[in-house]
Amino acid sequence: VYRSIHSINTSGGLPACFVSGWWFAVPQLLSFVAFVLEESVFICTSCTPLYFFEFVSCTAFLFTLLLLILLSTSLYQRIGITCWPQLDFIYTGIIAVFLLISSIVFAADNTGSSLERGAVAFGFLAMVAFAADFLYVLKEHGHPFKRGAPPQEDMESAAPEGEKLNPPVNGTE
């Protein structure tokens, strides 16, 4: 989410890379469809898995929507959070894990109605979308918490100082 919206804020338009553009809306839309289908279920024999799935799919949708609103407006500057990439990385991973768990639990214990099967299917699809985003960040950008030296090419390309900051004292350097 952060990578997509941050580049919109800084460049003024949607970039064309995989995670940006339309892709950032896919996990949110899938979790929303799972939530709507789950809300359409009126009868449950064991409601605890249904409620857990409801909580996770609703949280995935609403928190992602909150991040999208914050990062697509100037509100993100007022919050005081300076580690948006790390926040997005952790959030995406946690939501993927919880969607996997809740979808497995709900798939294992439901009445088998078409609405429940559809909700479970969209729950798994949303989990795959969140996990794909998480893995893409790992592959393309590395772990966001890894602290290391700047790339060697940047160090070598720096031009030496052309003018001394302090003038020589008594004609010596």
47: Cα separation from own chain's centroid: 29
Phi, psi of 168 (to 5 degrees): -60, 145
- Measure the CA–CA gap between 122 and 109, rounded to whole angstroms: 16
Bridge partners (DSSP) listed for residue 169: 172
pTM: 0.70
The owner of tokens 């990062």 is 71
Question: pLDDT per position in the chain (173 positions), as tens?
Answer: 555 554 444 443 322 333 444 667 888 899 999 999 998 888 888 889 999 999 999 999 999 888 888 877 777 778 777 777 788 889 999 999 999 999 999 999 888 889 999 999 999 999 999 999 888 888 887 777 776 534 434 344 445 555 666 666 776 65
Type of residue at 27: P
| 38, 61 Cβ separation under 8 angstroms | no
| 32, 61 Cβ separation under 8 angstroms | yes
38: Cα separation from own chain's centroid: 23
Phi, psi of 152 (to 5 degrees): -60, -35
